[in-house]
Amino acid sequence: MKNAPYPCFWFDNQAQEAAHFYISVFKEGKILSENAFVVEFEIMGRKFMAMNGGPKFTFTEATSMVITCKDQTEIDYYWNALLAHGGEENKCGWLKDKYGLSWQIVPEQLGRLMSNPETAPAVGQALLTMVKLDIAALEKAAGK
């Protein structure tokens, strides 16, 4: 869609480096255009922009990227790849990459596991004890 909105990420001066890092993590990515100020790139068919805007603004957890993973192998891959070279772990499947952008790495089963009113409290309690999410432990908490 020609006028579809897409996110722009503000960096101090790492826009090119970040864009190349993200397309290396997701494999199905490419640089669309690049200059000293702005990089437009695509990941899995979705467009993004990275801009060198200076140090005035930084990322906060108020904005995060969510990756829904089909299995533990995918969770482990994205978790490790996005933490590489200086990222920071947080609780409940959240992390910050080395540029400070927040990510939620979640299993696709999480919505289903949390939607059953009988098991949701136990799943929620299990989730609160985790840093990287563990599908087997979440399913065990749900009685599966």
pTM of the model: 0.93
Express each pLDDT in 48-107 by its tens digit.
999 999 999 999 999 999 999 999 999 999 999 999 999 999 999 999 999 999 999 999
pLDDT at 1 over 70: no
pLDDT at 144 over 80: no
The arithmetic mean of pLDDT across residues 98-118, rounded, is 95
CA–CA distance, 123 with 137 (Å, rounded to integer): 9
pLDDT at 130 over 80: yes
pLDDT bin (cut points 50, 70, 90) of residue 2 is confident
Q: Is 1-57 a domain of CATH 3.10.180.10? A: yes
The reply to whether 1-57 and 59-144 are identical in fold is: yes
List residues bridging with 42 in a β-sheet: 30, 47
Give the containing element (helix H, strand E) for 74.
Answer: helix 72-83
Express each pLDDT in 17-47 by its tens digit.
999 999 999 989 999 999 999 999 999 999 9
In CATH, which of 1.10.40.30, 3.20.20.210, 3.40.50.10320, 3.10.180.10 is domain 59-144? 3.10.180.10
Q: In the 3-class helix/strand/coil scheme, how is 26-90 assigned residue by residue?
A: HCCEEEEEECCCEEEEEECCEEEEEEECCCCCCCCCCCEEEEEECCHHHHHHHHHHHHCCCCEEC
Q: Where in the chain are the domains?
A: 1-57, 59-144
